[in-house]
Chain A
Amino acid sequence: MNSRILHIATNTFREAVRDRVLYNLIGFALLMSAAAVLVGQISIQIERLVVINLGLTAVSLFGIVIAIFIGIGLVSKEIDKRTLYTVLSRPVRRWEFIAGKFFGLSGTLVVNTFFMAIGVFAALAYVSHHFESSDVGILVALYFIVLQFVIITALALFFSSFSTPIFSAIFAFWLFVIGSFAQDLRNFAHMTHGLAHWLATGAAYLVPNFSALNVISQVAHGEPVPHRLILLNTAYVLVYSLAVLSGAVLIFERRNLK
């Protein structure tokens, strides 16, 4: 059972890489280089701040876009190419397929982020010629960004299991936007009464909490991230992704693949 999931994951990874997804790294590298050079020349006394802010935001946005673009096609593409039929006619269970796709795309994003991280640190070294002990925080921020990718991947896969690519992309994108304002949604829930309160509270818990995963400006200012937050976020993402994937499995198991 495990080896099948691994094989599907590996295949997904290979497809993504050969589909030239890693070319986005070139764009990213160009962006970071240009920013670093520009900032280095102007010397505005907040070089580190700008490089870290810009770099981490770019890692986050590039990755979200990739996660959505590849994620929405994970299932629908296999149907179009008829490959899903040949896979499921083998001793592969439908839920194993979903799991394999999930790990494959997540793995791709981790690798992608790894290379981007090198880019960020390189740019940082260029502008400030040294590292500070608080820069360890950048690794934490990157880890949180990867956790964001995990959730988006699960969501894109969930929508892909029953919807067309266009709608999957729209839903996933909007969930990302609303999730970024999750904290505000909960504030709003606190302030309202009656039906609005219940709706807002429900939405606030259903929507993925991306606001807690965004520590970019904190890290840019050199402030440390509490250990407890790291633990809680990790647990939250694991559990939330599990929920979303279970939903995907539930839908996919009963779907007629016409």
Chain B
Amino acid sequence: MSPGVTLPTSAAAPNVPRVAPSTSSVALVWEALASVPDPEVPVVSVVELGLIRRVEWREKQLIVHLTTTYSGCPAADLIRTLIHEQLATLGVVNVTLVTQLAPPWSTDWIAPEAKAKLRAYGIAPPHLTAARIDVTGISPLRRAVVRVACPLCGSSRTSLLSQFGSTACKAQYRCDACLEPFDYFKPH
């Protein structure tokens, strides 16, 4: 334990913060946030997805800067609630969540180990955005073909079914080898 961090004890009163404002306790906050799952893709955390941008104390208030994946992500409100609940387990209740727009969220921020988790869960992880589209020419509006490997059998004989899958952030593919459908987390 770092100095400045009050050790949790079972006898602690519920309203006494067990994590006190300090530079070192920021690490504990990050650790706690790392156990908040993304509601749509519960195998990865909001930290692994790159949604938490910054954590800081302002006096006795904890400020968490976060961003959303897509503008219309319906899980955004739930994520905020889950963050509050998780921080409350540390005794931190004076929390302000600040949603930041810029820079816009990118799948390049997804941690490498999270990509392995996505694959194990049956979702093909995103390629780097550098590997994707020609953003200079609008016509014809087509991305460079990226081979998406099937997360189930590993074959690269796959076809795109739809640019939009179970959520806006995923596309639907079909594996032409094992014939299973699967989601591809789109580079964004």
A pairs with B: no
